[in-house]
């Protein structure tokens, strides 16, 4: 279920869950390292992945609002912003 909430390290190609203990331990660190190989990485957002997730979520929310399900539509609008952000996280090599 949470397979889309993983990032692949550009150094070791290991997949690391976004909410893993390795990332939680680095919350306040200015320089992040891969929890698997300890190589320096930076976390970025993929605009392409965000658009792929965001577009259908907004379309679904608008459709639900159109059929007058205000409460469900409001939740879908919230998910339309939050879910694509988490799904769009990716790791890139950081300058050493």
Residue indicated by tokens 């949470």: 2
Q: Is 75 helix (H, G, I), strand (E, B) or coil?
A: helix
List, in sequence order, the alpha helices (H) in the chain.
21-24, 47-66, 70-87
Domain ranges of the chain: 3-93
Give per-residue pLDDT as tens, 68-90: 666 676 777 777 778 788 888 88
Q: How far is CA 2 from CA 23, 52, 81, in A?
A: 16, 17, 17
> Which pLDDT belongs to residue 73?
67
Give per-residue pLDDT as tens, 9-44: 898 988 888 777 887 788 777 788 888 888 898 888
Q: How far is CA 95 from CA 6, 32, 40, 50, in A?
A: 22, 11, 7, 25
């Amino acid at each position: 279920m949470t397979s889309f909430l993983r990032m692949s390290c550009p150094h070791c190609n290991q997949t690391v869950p976004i909410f893993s203990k390795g990332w939680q331990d680095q919350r306040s660190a200015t320089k992040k390292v891969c929890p698997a190989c300890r190589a320096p990485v930076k976390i970025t957002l993929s605009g392409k992945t965000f658009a792929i997730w965001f577009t259908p979520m907004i379309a679904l929310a608008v459709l639900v609002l159109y059929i007058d399900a205000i409460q469900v539509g409001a939740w879908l609008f919230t998910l339309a912003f939050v879910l694509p952000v988490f799904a769009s996280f990716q790791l890139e090599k950081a300058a050493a």
